[in-house]
Amino acid sequence: MKSVRFLSLFVLALIVCCIAGRVGAQPGNKPFRAAVNIDGMQHVNILAGDYFFKPSHIIVKVNVPVKFVVRVERGIIPHGLLLRAPEANISIDEELSGESQTFTFTPSAPGKYAFYCPKKLFFLKSHREHGMEGILEVVE
């Protein structure tokens, strides 16, 4: 009896994940150019959801501190944020929770750097393959 209940819940979870994967990235996600605030930092608010980051294209200036504030939409699917660009002195690899999280860094080299959710459920596509990725563009 327990195995039938477990199997039913597992199948239901797979169906929910597949449906959410079809929804995918949100349309109309325009590039966001961060401005330098009075505190000398570039502030970027990011919304993470099933399976998107908004904005997904972020433009910041090189050698100016950046403050990412990441908020996750309510849902049952866990997400993370991975942004590794050692050549630009950027390293974020964190689990995202229901609370807003803040990440600060100072990009030291211009370029385009991918950020994405590294999560994957068993044999299904990764969240990144579902479209949960973006580009941090560092400019002069």
Q: Domain containing 72 — which CATH number?
A: 2.60.40.420
Give yes or no for residue 20 having a pLDDT over 60: no
Q: In what side-by-side order are the strands of the sheet with 79-85?
A: 32-33, 57-61, 133-139, 111-116, 79-85, 90-96
SS3 38: coil
**Strand ranges for the chain from DSSP E:** 32-33, 42-49, 52-54, 57-61, 66-72, 79-85, 90-96, 101-105, 111-116, 133-139
What is the total count of domains within the chain?
A: 1
Query: What is the model's pTM?
Result: 0.79
State pLDDT tens for residues 91-131. 999 999 889 999 999 999 999 999 999 998 888 899 999 99
Whole domain around residue 99: which residue ranges? 2-139
